[in-house]
Amino acid sequence: MADEQIPRRQFLKGAGAAGTGKPVLFTSTGLVYGFEPNKDVTEDAVLPEISAQPVKAQAERIVLGAAGITPIVFRAGLIFGRSGSGLVTGLIRSAIDNGAATYIDDGSNSWVPIHVDDLAALYTSAIARPTAGIFNAVGEAPFTFRTLAEAIGKLTGTPAVSIPRSVAENNLGPAARVLTTSSRLVASKAREAFGWVPSNRSLLDDVRAGSYTSLLSAER
């Protein structure tokens, strides 16, 4: 992992060499808070010693500890929109290939995603009003994994089907645990610091009848 961070250290060293204090933005993930159900997900939380996203967690420390810059770390929810996001497109392709849109157990666990355009607007606001620190970055429309599977089912013409956690773990390995967690991130700190207001864009609407419809012609 140390070797993976060398280019980032060199970049930050170069960025801070002039000592201008200009902002450097790093996009992390809300998954650094870990998997415990009652975990603290405020920006001041102490992160788990064993991280679910060790590269991201280490990169945060490198950015925040760099000299000569204004370090800004965004812990983003699931980024979606414009037919992108590896998780969302992967689930859609899986439904097409396997004939079912799946979720694990009852699928009641929920996440708060953020549309890529809202995240871009946050970047712009942060550059215009740089404030050092860590900021959660999420939108206004949470989803459950069952409702996501149902939206994917509507898009692909496949049934939404529950699979037991044991089956998911056998097929997906550690990723199965990620897909059964819930996220309660709020972005009030980012709103206040940068004067940013995310939209109420819905991942479910985008999957059912928005940008992700373009994937159907590409896959078939």
pLDDT, one tens digit per residue, over 9-35 is 877 887 788 788 899 999 999 999 998
Q: What is the mean pLDDT of the chain?
A: 93
On whether residue 214 sits in a domain, the answer given is no
Grade residue 218 by pLDDT with cuts at 50, 70 and 90: low
Q: Which residues, 6+ apart, have CB-to-CB distance to 78 below 8 Å?
A: 85, 87, 88, 111, 113, 114, 203
CA 88 to chain centre: 11
Question: What confidence tens digit (pLDDT) does each residue in 148-173 have?
Answer: 999 999 999 999 999 999 999 999 99
On whether residue 213 sits in a domain, the answer given is no
On whether residue 55 sits in a domain, the answer given is yes
On whether residue 219 sits in a domain, the answer given is no
Average pLDDT over residues 108-137: 98
> Which two three-digit tokens encode residue 1?
């992992």
On whether residue 190 sits in a domain, the answer given is yes
Grade residue 3 by pLDDT with cuts at 50, 70 and 90: low
Task: Tell me the CATH number at 142.
Answer: 3.40.50.720
On whether residue 206 sits in a domain, the answer given is no
Q: Looking at the whole model, is its pTM more than 0.85? A: yes
Residues 39, 184, 144, CA angle at the centre, nearest 5°?
Answer: 120
On whether residue 215 sits in a domain, the answer given is no
- 199 membership: H or E segment, kind and range: none
Domain count of the fold of the chain:
1
Task: Indicate the DSSP class of residue 212.
Answer: G
Give the pLDDT score at 51.
Answer: 85
Residues 49, 59, 89, CA angle at the centre, nearest 5°?
Answer: 95
On whether residue 62 sits in a domain, the answer given is yes
Grade residue 1 by pLDDT with cuts at 50, 70 and 90: low
Q: Does residue 201 have a pLDDT over 80?
A: yes
- CB contact at 8 A, 116 and 81: yes
Domain of residue 168 covers 2-201
Q: Which residues, 6+ apart, have CB-to-CB distance to 156 below 8 Å?
A: 92, 95, 96, 101, 216
Residue type, 20: T
Q: How far apart are CA 205 and CA 138, in angstroms?
A: 17
Give the pLDDT score at 42.
Answer: 96
